[in-house]
Structure 1
Amino acid sequence: MSEKESRNKKKIVIFASGSGTNAENIIKFFQNSNKSEVVAVLSNKRNAGALKRAHDLNVKALLFDREALYHTNDVLNILKDMEPDLIVLAGFLWLFPSNIIQEFPEKIINIHPALLPKYGGKGMYGSKVHESVIENKETETGITIHYVNEKYDEGNTIFQATTQIANTDNAESLAGKIHELEYKHFPEVIQQLLEKDN
């Protein structure tokens, strides 16, 4: 690939707090793309699998703390230097700060493991969501990809996909179904959003 092509690539920055399977899936999806690439993965947890997965795939992996995100402009300045076309929250558990949201309007998206507005909000993440869905005897659940605003899970919806819940499903089996939807749709929606900006 020429230097010019590399310069013209759309840049994706991922924020993740956990094991990083979605981050890895997104990195791999764009690895052979001549239009877009993941340039960095940022995490608030030193032992996050997401950082190791990024490092193993030769993507810049950066750790930050609460101070850097909320009380200084450290993370904001890192992002300004990188000039991302899209910031992707993939299992990032902290509320995103308003100074970054204002700097990158309609450029920050999140994935949630339920059909918002149901089962969203502070504390609703991972297995807690699936346990609540099972407890309430829902017949379907799914994923929601949405823009990020100053409140948990309340930004405008971009995309939803559903899956049926069987009588035999528990939180763990439901998590597996949700992961399948995430791996299939999240990279595709990111690609569509980046292409729309052309």
Structure 2
Amino acid sequence: MIRLAIFASGSGSNAQNIAEYFSESNDIEVSLILSNNSKAYVLERAHKLDIPTAIFSRDSFYKSEEILKVLANNKIDFIILAGFMWLVPRYLVEAYPNKILNIHPALLPNFGGKGMYGDHVHKAVKAAGETESGITIHYVNEKYDEGNIIFQAKCQLTSSDTPETIAEKVHALEYEHYPKVIETVIQKSFKNY
């Protein structure tokens, strides 16, 4: 069984979607949900799904390797970022080479980087007058949104779209594609496992 840890900072709708997708799998399971926000709704979702959780502070994440111990104790094979707002530190990237995935709510390399998350992205896409947006699923490295791209999906935009309607279109792509891409990447990664 390949064991996933999901890192999330907020509501956790993507985390729940991923957990539900793999709930019937014989090969992959969401074994742990971690958050840097003790009030994040993702923790409530995890509780309802009967998935263990861990909460950590900025100091423990950046000034220690405590998270590695938590991941090792839970025998985590792969890390999935789903609305996680902090830059992943080098020690974690090195411990999980090509085994940390992120989803970004735009077509990278456009509209990426520090501060470009959630509604900030959709507002920037609207302000730029873009005719399409979408999602990018990529490996995580030590810089925001600069890891190698694995998959992109697009949605068409019209002049009547608002940041809110752009967000709805992008969320639909996230829910449709993220779990399937995770599954494909893991199967390729562990075929000789």
**TM-score interval, normalised by the smaller of the two chains:** over 0.9
SS in 2 for 1:145: strand
Which of residues 76, 80, 101 is equivalent to 2:93?
A: 101
Identity of aligned residues (%): 51
Tell me the distance in 2 between the aligned counterparts of 1:120 and 1:54: 28
One-letter code of the match for 2:124? S
Aligned pairs for 1:124-139 within 5 A: 124-139=116-131
Alignment of 1:6-25 (within 5 A): 9-25=1-17
- How many angstroms apart in 2 are the aligned matches of 1:76 and 1:97? 11
Q: Which runs of 5+ in 2 are unaligned?
A: none
- CA distance in 1 between counterparts of 2:139 and 2:73 reads 22
Q: Structure 1 length normalisation: TM-score?
A: 0.94
Would you say 1:78 and 2:73 are equivalent positions?
Answer: no
**Is residue 51 from structure 1 mapped to residue 59 from structure 2 by the alignment?**
no
User: How much does 1:140 deviate?
Assistant: 0.4
How far 1:14 sits from its partner (Å)?
0.2
Structure 2 length-normalised TM: 0.97
Distance of 2:43 and 2:151 partners within structure 1: 27
Task: Output the CA distance in 1 between the equivalents of 2:146 and 2:187.
Answer: 24
Match for residue 169 of structure 1?
161
Equivalent-residue separation in structure 2 for 1:85 and 1:64 (angstroms)? 19
Q: Which whole-Å deviations, capped at 9, do the CAs of 1:29-72 have from their partners, x for residues lacking one?
A: 00011111000000000110111101110001111101111111
Deviation by residue 1:81-130 (Cα, 9 ceiling, x = unmatched):
22322100000000001001101100001000000000000000000000
CA distance in 2, matches of 1:79, 1:37: 14
* Equivalent position SS for 1:137: coil
Give how far 1:168 is off. Answer: 1.0
Aligned to 2:72, what secondary structure does the other structure show? Answer: helix
Question: Aligned residues, how many?
Answer: 190
Asked if the contact 1:85/1:194 (under 8 Å) is kept, the reply is: no
Distance in structure 1 (CA, Å) of the matches to 2:67 and 2:58? 10
Q: Distance in 2 between matches of 1:167 and 1:123?
A: 25
* Partners of 2:151 and 2:157 in 1: CA distance: 20
Pair 1:142 & 2:140 matched? no
Give the letter aligned to residue 118 of structure 1: N
Cα RMSD of the aligned pairs, angstroms, is: 0.7
Please report how far the alpha carbon of residue 194 of structure 1 lies from its aligned counterpart in structure 2 after TM superposition.
1.4
